[in-house]
Structure 1
Amino acid sequence: MSLPRIWAVGFSKLAGVYGEIVADYASRADVRLVAQGYEAAVETVRRGLLERAPDAPGTDVVIAAGSNGEYLRDRLAAPVVLVGVDGFDVLDALASARRAGARVALMSHGETFAALERFAANFALDVPHFSYRGAADAETRLRALQADGVEAVVGPGLVSEIAERIGMTSVFLYSHTRVRAAFDTALSLADAAAQEAAKRRTLDAVLSQLRDGVVALDARGRVLSANPAACTILGQSASVLHGRELEKVAPDLSAALREPQDETIQSIGGRDYWVRRGRFEAVDGAGAVLTVQAADDLARGENSLRARRPTSLHAARHQLADLRGDAPALTHARALASRYARTDGTVLLTGATGTGKEVLAQGMHRESARARGPFVAVNCGALSESLLESELFGYEEGAFTGARRGGRAGLIEAAHRGTLFLDEIGEMPLALQTRLLRVLQEREVTRVGGTRAVRVDLRVIAATHRDLAAAAAAGEFRADLFYRLNVLRIALPPLSARGADVLDLAAQLLSEAVERVGQGVARDAARCRLVLQAVDADLLAHDWPGNVRELASVVERIACLWVTDADASPDWRLDTDLFFAIAPECRRAAPRGRSLDTLLTNAAPLKVGARALERQLIEQTLVETGGDRAATCRQLGISRATLWRRLR
């Protein structure tokens, strides 16, 4: 550990006292004797202070006395300890002077000793007491005292030196005890300064590791400290910044001190920075700490955090292959979804409830460049208007009664860098449609009760079972929002229009349901197909208004019956009566006059059945497209000639 450096400044008798006691402090300090005064002493000490590197350990303290000490204190950066004098020192020195002469006087620098004057007056002592302001003033007064018959004088080193030069007896005012006390005080100051410097170096080392700029200011706005990142941002060195007013060296940053908010965006050197202002109690009042972070760095960090945080809550589980079936309309929908997944355009999915719109949306997300981001699904028809608004757009603290402290980000923000799926978009209240339109247009969202817009990077997929064009024409849905949503469009066919897909899908769903309700019991799709074979006609005849969801519910009942039937055997089959017993809704809807058995008993059974199903699919698609034959051809993936032949 580096020893503190003590500059003992003084000449004449004070220098002699220093020389007598310096050996006692050699193990505790590096004592430098400076037998000079005033400007010469200032220059010597300053050169010594410059020898030490700014970041080198160790401290400097100056010891001086009288007018010389006052002169040094006003001109040196290092602390100056003045050799003190108390009443006992003065009385002891006066007693020594009286032994040397009949008349004595006391001379001190600056103010006179008021206590001594009162003591002399109370005891009727004739002890003239004078003060001086400099060497010339001291010599003038001493010569006047000599002319007045004063034989001995008590004073500091300068007075003693002048007195002896003009032939007067002098007694040195400063005792060894007081000089030692000054050395002890200097060592205490040096130790405290060393500890403070060590703390500062530790703090500077910590701050130097921060990527954010940190600037500490005193109550007058002067720079106390600036870490390397702040120096880089401001384009100034720490030595240039330290001690100077921030307004003068970095006016762009100092503007943050005048902002009413503690957090603000400031432009520094042509680049935007997020500046946060904190306060602390300084020696001279309330200081400030400014933390400066590049806005684009902050955005990248926030984006990374938001991309990771919702992974467990907002993840896409399905892929396009999970939308099973070989019907032409479904195959066409999957092909379109695969193509659209490669773009960022807004997609509108249409189709009845339960046709697999969310499965398709999740599959598109997983095949897109946003697959690693969140997939956030919102059912716009499941929540009240106020609740949907706060869930979708988020809210600021105090926006409404019960608002969470600190506010909360909405689902739109949660979908940043990912996909936002708006299910049942046709049920969204008109007031919220206006706010959503701005999100789609500007890609920014403002929380409820807030004023600051947050940029979002997301892809929007919307789904509805309603005819939004008709709803817009009737004033029930914003036309401008419809056109924003209706960029890329995919129509999903109802299950009743998918023909033999019903049979294959039922077998696959049954295989999964048996394993689920049977606690691991495995039944492959081929085995399940045999179980359902007797009710194929019933499955095809039902119109399935609930689509895949309804089929899954019916199959779940079959699975429970199959697994729990005590009489079940490897040859167990589902017959028509049992099927209608557990699924009576299928009996009511099934047109029994035209079953699959009937279709298969004619001369060309497979051809007739396929044509009937094909025509049913075409008719359904024409209804969905409003009779638009070109749109029907595109959706089914057939030519106009083929469509004409099938309709004939």
Structure 2
Amino acid sequence: MIKWLKKLVKGSDFVATKKKISVIALDPRAGKSYGEDIAGLFSDVADISVFSMLDGSAAGVLERADLFVASTDAYGSPEELAKHIPLDSQTMAIEASFRWSELRKLKELPAGSKVLFVNMTETMAREAIAQLEQFGITHIHWIPFYPGASLEEDVHIAVTPDEMRYVPPKMETVIDIGQRVCTSGMMIEIALRLGLESLLEGPAFQEYARSVATSNYSFDQMFARSVRLESLFHILLESLEDGVIGINEKGEIFACSRQAEDMTCVSAALIQGKRCEEVFPYIPFAACLRARQTLPAKVIKVNSVNLSVEVVPVIRQNACIGAFALLQRFNDVEVRQNELRGQLLHKGYYAKYSFDDVIGQSAAIRRTKETLTRMANSESPILLIGETGTGKELFAHAVHRASRRAAGPFLAINVAAFPENLLESELFGYEEGAFTGAKKGGRPGLFELAHRGTLFLDEVEGMSPALQIKLLRTLQEREVMRVGGNRIIHVDVRIVAATNEALERKVREGTFRRDLYYRLNTLPAVIPPLTERGDDMFLLMEQFRRELNGDFRLTEPVQDFFRHHTWPGNIRELRNVVEYFIYTDHRDITMEDLPPTLLLSGDALSRPASAPAARQDAPAPSMSDSFRFVLAQLYAASEARTPMGRDKLLQKARESHVPLSQQEVRTILSEMAEQGLAHVSRGRGGSQLTPKGRELWEIGQR
């Protein structure tokens, strides 16, 4: 906490050395544009480097930087991004918008006109169109256009974000609105991440913010965060167990916490405004103001009590405007150090939701809540089984809140989102010097931080065999050993695991340990998908509508469509739909207002109520866009009479700008194997379509 407070009071405006910002984009021209936007505001205090996937500069592991700013299409997934940057790197996504000056040009186009929006890919074109409509460019009919798209004959106007190379010839009117620019909210986040908040007060940032189209949300967030930070200091001043004494640039006392009063036997009310050397001659405030540097902690005896006293200057715009003395009782320092480190490294480890937060009246959800409420009273591991987006983590929170460990910490980690070496250090911690980049003093793992609480392991099926062995030993022996360490640490942790795959099948395949499976599967519970929850979906929609401050209602045809939609994304997909409806700005939602993603694959994703039952032996894949892509690639490979592995599929996905992660590819291949559509081999064997799989693809092409 002392280090956190030092960062707060020192003022984040003083920058001793330049920061390093690395910008990563798919297209080099877009990357250059984003880099120039960032350099326009941060070049005086940061060096900006630009990397691109298409020109090969983003390949391999990049050099360390203080912040990596990456476009979502650069690598395709957070997991892929993690492979190209050093461990423990700070990352954030590029957020792009348009300049108001360009939007004004578009508003002058004749109402009702058909207008092409030309971009590199269909996804990029549709995303840009959605953003333009969000900013009020709705008086024209947008048509996404990209390489390979068909062109309607009666379209004569094209708009493009600096992609003239893809504009079809013979367009009567072409408006180049230039590369999209970084949002002002993104610039705020960069400044906050790097401790450069003072730049936000300068004229350059204010001018930039006025020129970029945005809502007031980012600014409200910035000012609210500033107010919270200021309020937090005053709250910390009174709530810290450490004593805090503050002086201004004249050496006059303006702050003295209750703890400092107790340690020094003075009254804060009586010393306000007095010279520091008169009241605290043993605290070297004057030396700190002169040196403008932190004076390391030293032990001073005050009233027969040994105090550790550290003095920290307050720097603002290169000027020293005061200092703070941080006081600790010496005997408490060592005891509290490890506890405070855990709080500093991992904040917010508590369960946010209870069973009351689970919305629904269906028999399936009531039965699930009753079952898990009983299981919560046990100390045995719980395995939550359910499709993606069904709310498994919410139930994990609720189980902890209903258990005897409710007063203890609750920690959650998505196992599949971490590379093996990083996951090991996250779960079990590491000692200083355990590997390159290891922090000084080491770091406790999640098992240590979850002591006497609950640890939620999401997508546990993604854990490597080596880590499965280490996890099994931890569960059996209730002890861990940090990476690079040699001492045993006893832990008391309850495990709640979750999976969206059939672990029994992975056990049979040999990719998941049988003994670990039975250890985690002590109390299994199935979380019902949205399709089994009846009209719960409308209760959930109403809750999301209130949360998002929307105002709409569903017509009967839409309600009937929803009742027969398969909802492959479950509750997560439902929330996305609600947010989409809000941005339509329509009071009554009709079938024309449905998101395009629900209608593009309507036959595959939705089924009419009167549809006859499928044959028992017919395959029933979800046929999502990702499923179709994998099926198409395997079909092409079978035509070439060669198998195709996961890595090759991911490479093809990146080349085609299809957002696919390793976990999604594994899930789709497993689904194909279960339905008899493909033979999936482990290792280098790759995957091959069966005759049934080839037939499915050929039928779909007729």
Query: Which protein has the larger Cα radius of gyration, Structure 1 or Structure 2?
Result: 1
Question: In proportion to residue count, which structure has more helix?
Answer: 1
Q: Which has the higher contact order (CA 8 A, sep 6+)?
A: 2
TM over 0.5: no
Q: TM-score, normalised by structure 1?
A: 0.41
